Homo-oligomer: A and B are copies of this chain.
Amino acid sequence: MTLEPIGTIHTPYTNLEQMPIQPKGAADVIGTLVVYDTYKEGLKDLDGFSHVYILYHFHKAMRSELLVTPFMDTEVRGVFATRSPLRPSHIGMSVTQIISVENNIVTLKGIDVLDGTPLLDIKPYIPQFDAVTNVKTGWMKKNDAEVAEASSDSRFI
């Protein structure tokens, strides 16, 4: 299957080293989705939602690894039990908050991707579909504050 970007993501993060590892670590960071004109009609009604999933291409991940050491852990884990960019699909996903939708620009708060990242899809967060309870999180034992403090590094290039 071949996949075309629908736009580009712009953020203040120009290198991996200072980037938060998830939106929770970038709670106040503003970024924009610049959707190509061809697709902008598809943004109709998005402004009624408060949160979206964005799917994007981990374009700096040049290889795949089946075993990785996640940022929040010291042990080697199966890549599908992590959110590492080195996954075979090289597709990243983050939940972020919508600030505004104007013409072909979606402004988001709490964004954790590199500037220039190719945008693949936007999906509304709908609790009737997406909210889960009674969650078990395996190796991931950090709390929100620890996640917010964690930064990326170059291990996943």
**A83→B138 contact, CB < 8 A:** no
Q: Which of these, B4, B129, B139, contacts A45 with CB under 8 Å?
A: B139
Contacts of A127 in B (CB 8 A): 135, 137
**B124→A83 contact, CB < 8 A:** yes
**B124→A42 contact, CB < 8 A:** no
Contacts of A6 in B (CB 8 A): 88-89
Contacts of A129 in B (CB 8 A): 22-24, 83, 94-95, 147
User: Roughly how many angstroms separate A121 CA and B23 CA in the complex, as a whole number?
Assistant: 20
**A88→B39 contact, CB < 8 A:** yes
Residues on A close to B: CB < 8 A?
A: 1-6, 22-24, 35, 39, 41-51, 53, 55, 57, 66-67, 77-83, 87-91, 93-95, 97, 118, 120-130, 132, 134-140, 142-144, 147
User: Roughly how many angstroms separate A97 CA and B132 CA in the complex, as a whole number?
Assistant: 9
Within the complex, the shortest CB–CB distance from A75 to chain B, in Å, comes to 9
Which of A47, A127, A132, A134 lies at the interface centre, i.e. has the most chain B CB atoms within 10 A of its CB? Answer: A132
User: Roughly how many angstroms separate A51 CA and B94 CA in the complex, as a whole number?
Assistant: 16
Within the complex, the shortest CB–CB distance from A116 to chain B, in Å, comes to 14
Identify whether the interface residues of A are mostly helix, strand, loop, or mixed.
Answer: mixed
Contacts of A49 in B (CB 8 A): 81, 136-138
User: Roughly how many angstroms separate A137 CA and B48 CA in the complex, as a whole number?
Assistant: 6
Beta-carbon nearest neighbor of A141 in chain B: B128
A selection of 25 A-B contacts at a CB cut-off of 8 Å is A1-B3, A3-B91, A6-B89, A22-B128, A22-B129, A35-B80, A44-B78, A45-B78, A46-B81, A49-B136, A50-B135, A53-B93, A80-B122, A81-B124, A83-B123, A83-B126, A89-B120, A91-B121, A93-B93, A97-B132, A125-B135, A126-B140, A127-B135, A128-B143, A129-B147
